[in-house]
């Protein structure tokens, strides 16, 4: 037993009573620790948008500031006088602030947020406060101070920042049971937002990332918890075999992005040949595609399976009055704007007080010298007599002063040197007082019109520091990318029909098609059951399989033609149906579900085709006609649960295909949504046309190129570069107006599209880098409006392009548009305001043109519209 262990049981009992339970210690200490981490380390104060370590660094740099760069190691040492933690946390915070390029000017290798490269050691890199920081962050007169952690120094509680610094820099911190994530916003837009708030207008600021890229802020929710931002890399198509990544999403690096691409390729989600990082001054990651891969599909796959698209969840939390508070970014901006206004008011009031004191003393000094009061004190024998004599000499002038004259004021007069008295110039004194009065008048005016003064202050900031801080992240609306649609075919689907197995591991069985390991599989069995299941290596779906394929959810073009025997009535039923949405691994009856029902004939038609079949009845059938044809186009398409129509009540011996069918669904209406640069069938955007089979789309770009594409919904077009997109009709004449950069002249030409190569761009204008396409039209008689300058007068001219030039080859230069200076060229919209009521003859209708008719109901059947 230890010497210190008490032997007396009573003493042991008393010791237990004096001890503190561990649960109590944990409760008190944990709350103290949590409070400390939240307030002193992780979450920024709303007043200046800084965490304590950042505030201490800036304060230390201000004390060191002499206009020259300082070693970061020296700044760290200076900051440690105020910061209770080690040098590592200070060094990391300095580098983080320096990389944001707002408050700190840097010199040396400070790393690269795009590549993830770290900064050089603190002894090798240098920093100093930026001019912006010196102007908006510091003012000792309006700063509230406190003692440092050891009581030896004083440090600011918060810095008097006259700018929404918190939103400009952004911040991320994890505390105990609490976190904050405020994204960086655009410098210029924040100032414009503050000006709007001061004018009483509503504002809505959106993040802007230093890495650029594209972002969808439709679910941003003003930065509150629960919001979400989708950020995408900017991917350009260099050619049919190469993609270039120009910007990367915020929070990623080129290395992490390349790693995610390689992993997706290894998993078979995408198929690429090579990835090369050419990043130097600008980001450039080159992706070389595998043979036969579509660039558009690969771009979608990169967004779906790699870090080329990331989702960021903001959580705006700040410290207000020593408490964490959740606010919207717009509320934070308004708070900072009003705070700036209040700080400007305090500065004006301080300056006003200084000016009034200067005026008072200048007046006292003038009275003291001009009225020779200084001579009256020559005979005074005591200090009290001197003070009284001067005070008495000032009595006639005291009513003119804004406050009482104190003993301290009189003492200051006694400190004026004889040399200054002898050289006193009344004119200069009056001039100085006049300047002080003018400045005081200006200060009073600004105090009276404080809002206008604050607006002017912000406008000055924008003018001085806004250049080069334009928005880097492009605001977009993203389309939803279905992973199953864009995934590369990295597997093969096999089926064992007799035993009822499907999967990509049955390599000895019947091959069905190429597929992705993300796909679903639809299976039809002879007993009339249908099931959709996730593809796997080997899965049992039921014996006697008659059809298996990859299932596309919501595919309204896929139509199944089916004949089945009803087990109860013995009748053969026929139906056409679609399978649009199902519950995975649930069996559905395609028959009436009666015992003995089975499928006699089935086809899957990807474009709603309706074939003609020949039905052979058994020899013993009582029917007079034992062989007859049936056309599936005679029945309507219904749901999968429909019972169908009676084909025959007699037993069938066999069914044979007589004639392949054509689509009964008609063409597909394709729309173009310019906001996302994608095609769709959901009636979003402008209608491109009705498409069948081999139809094509023609696209003209502003750089003077055009290309022919398919109408696949996976196609993507850079909407900001598209000038014209429509259904391609080879017979239509194309009319264009373009600016030739070499000759600085506007040309017009008309031509037919003579190329047929798909997805290859051809230029119809000169190859000068300043050349650009202004107008492109396939209208029969296109008209343009041209604003020109004749001498000093502006004039508007209108031209019929078909009258200016004949149809020539697509490689021709064309004719000069006008000899006058062109200010603007625009196409005149020729869309009629109302439908024509007159009859339209067949000879008046041009191929591919759109004409509106008013058709009587009686004529519908004759015209064959229904």
The catalytic residue positions are 124
Which tokens go with 641?
């649960």
- Strand, helix or coil for residue 383: helix
CB neighbours of residue 547 within 10 Å:
19
Buried b / exposed e over 149-171, threshold 16 CB at 10 Å, is eeeebebbebbbbbbbbbbbbbb
- Tokens 């919904």 — which residue? 713
DSSP string covering 762-806: EE-S---TT-EEEEEE--SS-EEEEEEEETTEEEEEEEEHHHH--
Q: What is the 3-state secondary structure (H, E, C) of 418-481?
A: HHHHHCCCHHHHHHHHHHHHHHHHHHHHHHHCHHHHHHHHHHHHHHHHCCCCCCCCEECCCCCC
How many Å apart are CA 151 and CA 146, to the nearest integer? 9
Distances (CA, A) of 52 to 127, 167, 654, 830: 19, 17, 86, 64
Buried b / exposed e over 601-634, threshold 16 CB at 10 Å, is bbbbbeebbbbebebebeeebeeeeeeeebebbe
369 φψ region: left (φ > 0), alpha (ψ -120 to 50), beta (else): alpha
- Tokens 């650009």 — which residue? 772
Which tokens go with 730?
């080879």
How many Å apart are CA 579 and CA 583, to the nearest integer? 11
- With a CB cutoff of 8 Å and minimum separation 6, the contacts of 735 are 748, 749, 750, 775, 776, 777, 778, 779, 782, 801, 802
CA 283 from centroid of its chain's CA atoms: 18
First to last CA, the chain: 106
User: What size, in residues, is the chain?
Assistant: 866
In this structure, are residues 688 and 678 in contact, taking their beta carbons and an 8 Å threshold?
Answer: no
Pairing of strands 545-551, 520-525: antiparallel
Closest CA relative to residue 338, chosen from 545, 520, 164, 159: 164
Which tokens go with 81?
């006088």
């Amino acid at each position: 037993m230890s010497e210190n262990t008490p032997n007396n049981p009573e003493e042991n009992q008393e010791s237990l009573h004096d001890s503190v339970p561990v649960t109590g210690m944990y409760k008190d200490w944990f709350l103290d620790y949590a409070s400390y981490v939240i307030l002193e380390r992780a979450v920024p104060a709303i007043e200046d948008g800084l965490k304590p370590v950042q505030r201490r660094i800036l304060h230390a740099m201000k004390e060191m500031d002499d206009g020259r760069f300082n070693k970061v190691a020296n700044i760290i040492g200076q900051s440690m006088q105020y910061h209770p933690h080690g040098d590592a946390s200070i060094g990391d915070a300095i580098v983080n602030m320096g990389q944001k390029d707002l408050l700190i000017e840097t010199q040396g290798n400070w790393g690269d947020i795009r590549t993830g490269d770290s900064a050089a050691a603190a002894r090798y890199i240098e920093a100093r406060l930026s001019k912006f920081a010196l102007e908006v962050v510091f003012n000792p007169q309006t700063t509230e101070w406190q003692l440092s952690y050891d009581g030896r120094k004083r440090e600011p509680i918060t810095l008097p920042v006259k700018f929404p610094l918190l939103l400009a820099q952004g911040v991320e911190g994890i505390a105990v049971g609490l976190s904050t994530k405020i994204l960086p916003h655009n410098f210029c837009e924040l100032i414009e937002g503050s000006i709007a708030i001061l004018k009483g207008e509503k504002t809505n600021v959106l993040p802007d990332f230093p890495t650029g890229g594209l972002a969808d802020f439709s679910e941003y929710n003003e930065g509150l918890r629960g919001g979400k931002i989708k950020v995408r890399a900017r991917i350009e198509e260099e050619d049919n075999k190469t993609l270039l990544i120009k910007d990367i999403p915020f929070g990623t690096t080129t290395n992490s992005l390349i790693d995610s691409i390689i992993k997706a390729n290894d998993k078979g989600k995408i198929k690429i040949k090579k990835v090369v990082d050419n990043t130097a001054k600008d980001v450039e990651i080159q992706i070389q595609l595998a043979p036969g891969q579509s660039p558009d599909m690969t771009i979608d796959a990169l967004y779906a399976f790699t870090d080329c698209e990331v989702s960021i969840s903001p959580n705006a939390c700040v410290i207000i009055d020593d408490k964490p508070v959740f606010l919207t970014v717009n509320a934070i901006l308004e708070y900072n704007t009003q705070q700036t206004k209040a700080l400007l008011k305090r500065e004006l009031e301080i300056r006003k007080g200084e000016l009034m004191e200067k005026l008072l003393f200048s007046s006292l000094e003038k009275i003291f010298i001009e009225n020779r009061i200084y001579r009256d004190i020559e005979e005074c024998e005591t200090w009290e007599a001197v003070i009284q004599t001067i005070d008495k000499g000032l009595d006639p002038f005291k009513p003119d002063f804004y406050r009482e004259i104190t003993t301290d004021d009189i003492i200051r007069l006694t400190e004026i040197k004889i040399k200054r008295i002898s050289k006193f110039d009344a004119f200069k004194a009056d001039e100085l007082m006049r300047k002080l009065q003018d400045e005081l008048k200006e200060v009073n005016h600004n105090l009276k019109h404080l809002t206008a003064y604050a607006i002017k202050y912000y406008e000055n900031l924008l003018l001085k520091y806004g250049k080069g801080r334009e928005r880097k992240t492009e605001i977009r609306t993203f389309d939803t990318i279905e992973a199953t649609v864009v995934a590369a075919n990295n597997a093969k689907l096999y089926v064992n029909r007799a035993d009822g197995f499907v999967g990509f591991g049955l390599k000895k069985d019947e091959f069905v098609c190429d597929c992705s390991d993300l796909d679903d599989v639809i299976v039809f069995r002879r007993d009339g059951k249908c099931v959709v299941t996730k593809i796997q290596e080997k899965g049992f779906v039921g014996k006697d399989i008659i059809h298996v394929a990859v299932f596309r959810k919501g595919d309204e073009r896929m139509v199944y033609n089916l004949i089945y025997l009803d087990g109860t009535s013995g009748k053969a039923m026929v139906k056409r149906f679609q399978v649009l949405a199902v519950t995975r691994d649930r069996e559905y009856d395609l028959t009436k579900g009666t015992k003995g029902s089975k499928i006699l004939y089935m086809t899957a038609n990807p474009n709603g085709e309706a074939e003609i079949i020949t039905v052979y009845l058994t020899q013993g059938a009582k029917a007079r006609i034992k062989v007859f044809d049936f056309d599936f186009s005679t029945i309507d398409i219904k749901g999968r649960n429909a019972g169908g129509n009676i084909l025959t009540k007699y037993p069938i011996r066999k069914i044979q295909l007589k004639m392949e069918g054509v689509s009964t669904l008609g063409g597909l209406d394709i729309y173009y949504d310019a906001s996302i640069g994608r095609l769709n069938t959901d009636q979003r955007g402008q209608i491109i046309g009705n498409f069948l089979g081999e139809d094509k789309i023609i696209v003209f770009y502003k750089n003077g190129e055009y290309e022919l594409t398919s109408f696949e919904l996976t196609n993507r077009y850079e909407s900001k570069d598209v000038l014209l997109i429509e259904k391609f009709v080879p017979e239509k004449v194309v009319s264009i107006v373009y600016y030739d950069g070499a000759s600085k002249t506007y040309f017009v030409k008309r031509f037919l599209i003579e190329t047929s190569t798909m997805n290859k761009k051809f230029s119809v204008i000169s190859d000068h880098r300043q050349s650009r396409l202004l107008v492109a039209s396939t209208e029969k008689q296109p008209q343009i409006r041209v604003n020109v300058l004749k001498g000093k007068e502006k004039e508007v001219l209108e031209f019929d392009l078909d009258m200016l030039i004949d149809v020539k080859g697509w490689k021709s230069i064309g004719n000069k548009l006008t000899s006058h200076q062109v200010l603007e060229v625009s196409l005149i919209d020729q869309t009629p305001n109302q439908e024509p009521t007159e009859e339209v003859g067949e000879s008046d209708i041009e191929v591919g043109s759109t004409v509106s008719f008013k058709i009587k109901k009686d004529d519908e059947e004759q015209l064959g519209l229904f």
